[in-house]
């Protein structure tokens, strides 16, 4: 059932015990939103816990409270609410659903949200779930501490490509301005997010060497060589911007073969790649989406490229 | 003589003929500020001209009015004012000084400004000269058209690394928010600035192969191979961020050997590289500066590295 943000504020105020989670393959928006809301609820004296059923990218370990996030351990927990942030479908919270006995309250900004929760608030005009959490904290008369500001600034900035993606609105920049006044330092946050080990330059060079183009340069793809995968996915996350920024490229694809299948990221100029991702069981936004395809890599690659060519044709490119 | 922004507004209002210029090796702030002010003054019926004594990076050709910028042609012009935007010393306007017979009015945000003009307004707290021009246009009751908004957004965004550098303030983000409401589209502007020809990826791979580190990894340097220089400097401009973002690097240096000498860019985490640049006749900001050193490349490189090591020692790193 859809509910208003005011009602969510009231429900959280009244609750005693809460479990917060985000989506698997966690990003800055998911983690920053979780940690910001956690900081306020913990300060308000609630019994609150952070659960996430995936590995956490070390890239975000600078976020205050990061070390409080746990993976489900097989035991089953009861709570007044399971608050699910930034996850657009039930599969994206994975094992957390089974691990928690509580009604689900979902706060999200993905237009592809499947409305799987018991209660949901979805604002697809928000550039990030972090924007909604900031509004929620204001409705709850929360003290937005510098730590919370850092979490929300990271949530917002990472989900709009540091204010470069099409989802960036004047409201997005005004949220960010507020958060700077509340203690977030843009250059400190971006340094944490951009600082990379020396080795990552070698990796980048190897990955760029895999660049392939299709359909007269309208599709460009790169592949993370399997031997590099163990380095941690955070070092390769932004690599898709290289094919994406090539003149004439409409759809950019990054393949990341793993033992559990091939993880695929999509970026586009105009074509709706969330459709593409959805058709393979993934999700995301119109111009940035992702999915995982089981089975061997070359078959997965072939299927994805075929679907991308089809999408290109359908979108009249 | 220092004057108030209100007084600049009055002087421009009263003037009949104006020539606007920026600095050589022009960047987004210099060009965007020139073109924004030009658009308003031309719309107000002034006799106004854009002069710049350097080649213009094609990267910025999407800026409305770009094609109106001329190089000095040897003739001498008279005007009520020569308005110099974003140039911190007289050398940075090169031949324009000789080409124009007019008092100089300088609007700038560089802390290193040498106060060379007849009249100046310098706000070193502004992240970009574009911020000051927006204030000036408001003081002049100018209609900020979408074209002007695009120029100013580009000026501001490029000079604070798309809101990632330490000069980004909450005010910077609020200026940008205003400009979005006035018609600037962040994603369109960033796509213009980030779209690169396919060849640039090959270039990047070649440049990254030149990476060298010194002083236990505290200094990292890359060199643009001379055979690549003719491709146009705009494709290599951002490459310095690769060494800059390596863990443990305090000073990043990019060498670009040309027939006229070696162009050098500096970036730092904390050390004041504007001092380094100034000591070689260049200029810039504390954490981002540049200069040109005449003579052969290997001597230039040796002198620069020596000075960088000295700065590192002096700044206690």
Q: Among residues A148, A174, A193, which one ends one of the domains?
A: A193
Buried b (16+ CB within 10 A) or exposed e, A105-141: bbbbbbbbbbebbebbbbeeebbbbbbbbbbbbebbe
Q: Residue A218: closest CA among chain B residues belongs to which residue? A: B198
Q: Are residues A161 and A235 in the same domain?
A: no
From chain A, pick out residues whose CB is under 8 angstroms from the CB of B198.
213, 217, 246-248
- If one counts the domains in chain A, the total is 2
Q: Are residues B232 and B179 in the same domain?
A: no
Both tokens of A124, joined, read 């697809």
Percent of chain B with pLDDT over 70: 97
Place of tokens 């979902």: A106
Q: Are residues A53 and A138 in the same domain?
A: yes
Q: How far is B278 from chain A (nearest CA, A)?
A: 24
Q: Are residues A169 and A250 in the same domain?
A: no
Cα–Cα dist B75/B55, whole Å = 18
Of A6-20, A166-180, A218-232, B80-94, least confident by mean pLDDT is A218-232
Q: Are residues A161 and A247 in the same domain?
A: no
Of A33-47, A96-110, A192-206, B60-74, least confident by mean pLDDT is A192-206
Q: Are residues B25 and B113 in the same domain?
A: yes
Task: Give the pLDDT score at B147.
Answer: 98
Domain hosting B243: range is 199-314
From chain A, pick out residues whose CB is under 8 angstroms from the CB of B190.
161, 164
- pTM for the full predicted model: 0.83
Task: Give the pLDDT score at A226.
Answer: 83
Task: Give the pLDDT score at B202.
Answer: 79
A275-304 average pLDDT score: 94
Percent of chain B with pLDDT over 90: 84
Both tokens of A91, joined, read 């599969």
B51-60 average pLDDT score: 94
Torsion, Cα of A132, A134, A135, A136 (10° steps): 90
Residue in A176, A155, A85 with CA at minimum distance from that of residue A122: A85
Task: Give the pLDDT score at B34.
Answer: 98
A200-221 average pLDDT score: 91
Contact B201 A165 (CB under 8 A): no
Q: Residue B73: pLDDT above 80?
A: yes
Task: Give the pLDDT score at A228.
Answer: 73
Q: Are residues B66 and B167 in the same domain?
A: yes
Radius of gyration of chain A (CA): 19
pLDDT in tens, B135-147: 999 999 999 999 9
Between helices B199-208 and A199-208, what is the axis angle to 10°? Answer: 150
A200-222 average pLDDT score: 91
pLDDT band at A19 (very low <50, low <70, confident <90, very high): very high
Q: What is the DSSP letter of B76?
A: -
If residue B135 lies in a helix (H) or strand (E), which one and from where to where?
helix B129-139
Task: Give the pLDDT score at B233.
Answer: 45
Which residue of A146, A201, A205, A209 to mutate against B (max B Cβ within 10 Å)?
Answer: A201
Task: Give the pLDDT score at B229.
Answer: 56
A226-238 average pLDDT score: 65
Q: Which residues pair with A220 in a beta bridge?
A: A213, A252
pLDDT band at B243 (very low <50, low <70, confident <90, very high): very high
Q: Are residues B186 and B238 in the same domain?
A: no
pLDDT band at B275 (very low <50, low <70, confident <90, very high): very high
Query: Of A170, A186, A246, which is closest to B163 when you measure between CB atoms?
Result: A186
Domain of residue A110, CATH code = 3.90.1640.10
From chain A, pick out residues whose CB is under 8 angstroms from the CB of B164.
162, 186-187, 190, 194
The whole-chain average pLDDT of chain A stands at 94
Domain of residue A289, CATH code = 3.10.310.30
B60-73 average pLDDT score: 97
How many angstroms from the chain centroid is the CA of residue A283? Answer: 10
Percent of chain A with pLDDT over 90: 84
Q: Are residues B58 and B179 in the same domain?
A: yes
Q: How far is B209 from chain A (nearest CA, A)?
A: 8
Q: Residue A301: pLDDT above 80?
A: yes
Which residue of B144, B175, B186 to mutate against A (max A Cβ within 10 Å)?
Answer: B186
Indicate the pairing of strand A119-122 with strand A100-101. Answer: unpaired
Q: Are residues B184 and B253 in the same domain?
A: no
Q: Among residues B193, B223, B241, which one ends one of the domains?
A: B193
Determine the 3-state secondary structure of B202 from DSSP. helix
Both tokens of B108, joined, read 């700038």
B19-23 average pLDDT score: 98
Q: Are residues B31 and B131 in the same domain?
A: yes
Task: Give the pLDDT score at B253.
Answer: 98
Q: Among residues B140, B167, B193, which one ends one of the domains?
A: B193
pLDDT in tens, A59-77: 899 999 999 999 999 999 9
Q: How far is B56 from chain A (nearest CA, A)?
A: 20
pLDDT band at A251 (very low <50, low <70, confident <90, very high): very high
Q: How far is B219 from chain A (nearest CA, A)?
A: 12
Tell me how far CA of residue A60 lies from CA of A40, A45, B81, B92, in angstroms: 19, 25, 52, 42
- Is the CB of residue A180 less than 8 Å away from at least one CB of chain B? yes
Contact B163 A166 (CB under 8 A): no
- The answer to whether the CB of A92 falls within 8 A of the CB of A77 is no
B12-34 average pLDDT score: 97
Cα–Cα dist A182/B126, whole Å = 20
Q: Residue A237: pLDDT above 90?
A: no
Residue in B167, B131, B141, B163 with CA at minimum distance from that of residue B32: B131
Q: Residue B196: closest CA among chain A residues belongs to which residue? A: A246
Q: Are residues B143 and B205 in the same domain?
A: no
Q: Residue A205: pLDDT above 90?
A: no
- The answer to whether the CB of A246 falls within 8 A of the CB of B197 is yes
Q: How far is A39 from chain B (nearest CA, A)?
A: 23
pLDDT band at B109 (very low <50, low <70, confident <90, very high): very high
pLDDT band at A233 (very low <50, low <70, confident <90, very high): very low
The whole-chain average pLDDT of chain B stands at 94
Q: Residue A161: pLDDT above 70?
A: yes
């Amino acid at each position: 059932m859809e509910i208003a943000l005011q009602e969510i504020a009231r429900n959280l105020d009244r609750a005693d015990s809460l479990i917060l989670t985000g989506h698997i393959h966690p990003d800055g928006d998911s983690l920053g939103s979780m940690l910001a809301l956690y900081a306020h609820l913990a300060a308000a004296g609630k019994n609150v816990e952070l659960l996430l059923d995936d590995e956490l990218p070390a890239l975000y370990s600078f976020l205050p409270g990061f070390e409080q996030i746990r993976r489900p351990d097989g035991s089953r927990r009861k709570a007044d609410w399971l608050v699910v942030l930034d996850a657009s479908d039930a599969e994206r919270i994975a094992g957390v659903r089974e691990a928690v006995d509580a009604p689900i309250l979902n706060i999200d900004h993905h237009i592809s949200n499947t409305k799987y929760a018991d209660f949901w608030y979805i604002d697809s005009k928000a550039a990030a779930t972090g924007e909604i959490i900031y509004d929620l904290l204001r409705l709850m008369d929360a003290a937005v501490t510098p730590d919370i500001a850092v979490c929300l600034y990271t949530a917002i900035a990472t989900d709009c490509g540091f204010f470069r993606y099409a989802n960036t609105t004047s409201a997005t920049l005004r949220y960010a301005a507020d958060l700077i006044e509340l203690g977030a330092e843009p250059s400190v946050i971006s340094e944490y997010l951009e600082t990379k080990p020396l080795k990552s330059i070698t990796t980048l060079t190897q990955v760029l060497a895999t660049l392939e183009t299709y359909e007269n340069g309208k599709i460009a793809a790169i592949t993370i060589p399997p031997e590099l995968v163990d380095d941690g996915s955070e070092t390769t996350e932004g690599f898709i911007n290289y094919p994406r920024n090539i003149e004439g490229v409409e759809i950019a694809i990054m393949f990341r073969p793993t033992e559990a299948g091939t993880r695929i990221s999509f970026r586009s100029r105009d074509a709706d790649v969330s459709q593409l991702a959805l058709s393979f069981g993934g999700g995301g936004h119109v111009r940035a989406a992702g999915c995982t395809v089981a089975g061997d890599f070359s078959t997965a690659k072939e299927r994805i490229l075929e679907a991308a060519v089809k999408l290109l044709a359908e979108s009249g490119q």
